[in-house]
Structure 1
């Protein structure tokens, strides 16, 4: 017996699950109720082959998610009988009195939230990064995202520089600035995710897809600058060139 769930998924004899002829979700077979397992919803964006990058499944006991952001898993504390998609593109859903972002339970009422950009969200007197991580020791009155579209996960207040919701301990917020050469629209490889900055003490390499900001302790900070050469972005001081944060003696 074959039960076609759609989007390439099939249940065979209520014993195993295929996705385009490859077996999937094996470690959940003891949990899944095959009789009631189905696709509850997908995200709205599909590629040319009809593949949905986020799919929600339910059975009589659980809500499951399979997405580009998480492997197949149970959304804990979500219930199949009242599960609702709030925003399929952002991965927001609601069930059992809780809001979820993908498989993470959100620590606030999403209806009271204000999105500052795609990464920062304010809920009353608290600020969160990526919807679930509380940003600590932040001054909301002075909080800004200097480049909200280009460098979405870098922010500042009067006392701190924040990267991905965490304080960059070495950075001086009062003097910290991304180098203008990275921002003037000149094309270079990785121009959408690799940047240099400096304050009155250090220089910095920021790669938005990395976990932290790299501190560059140059001896000639005043001369630290950025230049595009052959479509590659380099920083320079008097002694070194820096490509993707790695230095080479001049």
Structure 2
């Protein structure tokens, strides 16, 4: 039995399967993987791993199960920001396993979760906030809440409209030591 170490406790065994800490992993991808050329691009050893072989690029992270990056070319694939899952291959940019509809350079960050490209608002780079009014769109308490926003028509939680909320009057109640402030 041949056993080739990839690093971070990953091993290719007999060019037929992968072990991680002596447990078989990623079995449903074996038919398409090239074990001889498989290598780790980068890994933190526990919650995020990028691999490539001569055919594809793969990622497993705390944000996604093991997946093939769509349209990624192993020859020019590179990580832009490992911690945030940002990578690039050719004309494609990715956040973990999601291929972005735009290049990172096109996005204007409104918060860590909300971005703007031209007249479109996105949540998490890939999920369009449908019918958002770009001119009045604002992230509420972006330094503390980050995933709640509103425009002059709607209140949003992530990319979804909060139907029961009135955009004109919606606000967060201020807390002081766990209690509501007087008059709030």
Aligned: 1:33 with 2:27: no
1:4 match? 5
Post-superposition shift, 1:149? 2.4
Q: Secondary structure at the match of 1:136?
A: coil
1:135-158 deviation line (CA, Å, top 9, x unaligned): 121122211112112211100111
**Distance (whole Å) between structure 1 residues aligned to residue 106 and residue 139 of structure 2:** 21
Cα displacement (A) at 1:52: 4.1
Q: Distance in 1 between matches of 2:46 and 2:106?
A: 29
Residue-pair matches, total:
179
Which residue does 1:87 correspond to in 2? Answer: 81
Q: Choose which of 76, 99, 102 in structure 1 pairs with 2:70.
A: 76
Distance 1:117 1:17 in 2: 39
CA distance in 1, matches of 2:162, 2:94: 28
- Aligned-residue offset at 1:163: 0.7
Q: Any stretches of 5+ residues in structure 2 without a counterpart?
A: none
Task: Output one character per residue of 1:152-205: Cα deviation in whole Å (capped at 9) or x when no partner.
Answer: 110011111011111112211111122223xx3x25xxxxxxxxxxxxxxxxxx
Aligned-CA RMSD value = 1.5
**Equivalent position to 1:164, from 158, 164, 167:** 158
Partners of 2:131 and 2:108 lie apart in 1 by: 19
How far apart in 1 are the matches of 2:80 and 2:116? 18
TM-score normalised to the size of structure 1?
Answer: 0.68
Partner of 1:205 in structure 2? none
Larger RCO, structure (CA 8 Å, separation 6 or more): 2
2:105 partner SS: helix
**In 2, distance between residues paired with 1:54 and 1:175?**
42
SS of corresponding position for 1:27 = helix
CA distance in 2, matches of 1:21, 1:113: 42
Gaps of 5+ in 1: 188-225, 228-250
Map residues 1-250 of structure 1 onto 2, 5 A cutoff: 1-42=2-43, 46=44, 51-181=45-175, 184=176, 186-187=177-178
Cα offset, 1:110, TM superposition: 1.0
Counterpart Cα distance in 2 of 1:30 and 1:19? 18
